[in-house]
Structure formats: structure tokens, C-alpha cells
Amino acid sequence: MDGTPNIAKIGALLGDNTRARMLSTLMHGKALTASELAREAGVTAQTATSHLAKMEAGGLLALRKQGRHKYFALANDDVAALLETLMGLSAGVEPIRITTGPRDSAMRNARVCYNHLAGNKGIQLHDALITKRYLKHNDAELVLTRKGSHFMQEFGIDLDSLQASRTPMCRSCLDWSERRSHLAGSLGRALMAKFEQLRWVKRDGNSRVIKFSAKGEREFNSTFGL
């Protein structure tokens, strides 16, 4: 090698359908056991364990232990962003049937992307923050403006804790269903948590779908309308 990162190693890990299904399942941000991931992928527990070990060794998954139980989650935001981008590329090559039923429509409208809001509502949030000049593009980076900092503090976001985090505060993540950007990074995560705290949104326990309450829809559109 000439010092160039070996993308073939990651590509090989992602190129297996069973591993791809497991990783997609973990995009809802929860940590799951090997048995739960085996069931989602439709394989035996032994097969799942083998795949999970390879993905953990490859840096795609993080293992968390609690008592006798072991849980697997995506390793970090970078892995989630990579998967979301690949989903977008896949949708371009083989169009996903996203209008065939209520769940598909709901997924397109609002869903969790690891730990932040995605779908049409995520794009609305991103675009509103840009339009209101709370966020701006600085070369290739997305940054919070002074006006945006004031708004976030008024909205109840603890910026000091976000700045102390190793995770970038603002990141653009390419939305797989719309091929436009939504907000990721620690700010995207904090806003999602705030929406849940305010009871504007609720996660669907069986999927990545995010459901807005009637009040939440009104308040969200009022605060982040274009």
C-alpha cells in the first residue's frame, strides 16, 4: 500500500447482505443483542455472532456489556453517515418502493438516522436553520452562527456540553430518500432529544419512523417553517 486508506476492507464488510441488514437495523440508534440482530437478519445465532465479530473488529460496531448481556451498536456517527450515504446511492441504482404503503410514506416523512432527525422533516429543519441564518456553510463545513447560538440557547440546547464533545457539532448528512442534506452531529442529536423531551415526536418502537403529535407538528412548523 502507498499509505492510502484501505477502503476495500470496509467494502468487504459492507458487501454481505446479512451484515448490511444488521447495520441497517442499528440505524435507529438502539443497541441490540446478537439474538435480536440474528432475528432481524433471518440467520442463526451462531452465524450472527460470526458476522458481528467481524464488524466489531473492522470498526463498524461497538460492543457494550451490561451484566451477562452483550449489546451491539453502530461504532460512531461516521459509520451512520456512511450507511445513510450508501442507502442513497443504492436507491439511485435500484429505486426503493417508498410509496407503496403507510410505513413507507411515514419513513419518508420523518425517521431517525442513528440519533438525529431525517426524512422530509429533517430536511425542513436543516433548510430552515440555513434560511434563518442560524447555520452557514464555511467552505466545506457547516457551522453555527452567533445568531444560531443565541437561538439554540433560548430553545434549551446546552451548547457548552456540545462544544466539549469530540463529535463535530454540525454535520451535513445526505438523506437517502430525498438526496438532500439533513442535520447530523452533536447539534442534530441534541435537537432530536429536545423534540422528544417536548413530546413533539415519538419513536415507533418497531421501525425508524418518527411520529409527530398534532401539537408537535404545529410547533415544529412554527419554529422551523420555511
pLDDT digits (tens, 9 = 90+) for 215-226: 999 999 999 997
Lowest mean pLDDT among 57-61, 100-104, 122-126, 193-197: 100-104
Task: Let me know: does 60 contact 80? Beta carbons within 8 Å.
Answer: no
Whether 80 shows a pLDDT value over 80: the answer reads yes
Task: Let me know: does 25 contact 18? Beta carbons within 8 Å.
Answer: no
**Strand pairing class (201-203; 210-212):** antiparallel
pLDDT of residue 95: 52
pLDDT of residue 103: 61
pLDDT of residue 99: 46
Q: In this structure, what DSSP letter does residue 47 have?
A: H
Q: What is the mean pLDDT of the chain?
A: 88
Q: In the CATH scheme, what architecture does the domain 7-75 have? A: Orthogonal Bundle (1.10)
- C-alpha dist (Å) from residue 48 to 10, 35, 36, 40, 43: 18, 8, 9, 10, 6
pLDDT of residue 92: 59
Lowest mean pLDDT among 96-100, 123-127, 141-145, 179-183: 96-100
Residues in the chain, overall count: 226
Strand-pairing partners, residue 116, are 113
pLDDT of residue 46: 93
pLDDT of residue 2: 63
What is the phi/psi pair of residue 213, to 5°? -75, 165
Strand-pairing partners, residue 66, are 69
Domain boundaries, given as residue ranges, for the chain = 7-75, 100-223
Q: Where are the alpha helices (DSSP H) in the chain?
A: 7-14, 17-25, 34-41, 45-57, 77-93, 102-109, 119-131, 146-155, 159-164, 185-197, 214-223
Rounded to 5 degrees, what angle do the CA atoms 130, 209, 37 make? 120
Q: What is the mean pLDDT of residues 129-139?
A: 93
pLDDT of residue 97: 52
Q: What is the mean pLDDT of residues 161-167?
A: 88
pLDDT of residue 101: 44
Task: Let me know: does 97 contact 168? Beta carbons within 8 Å.
Answer: no
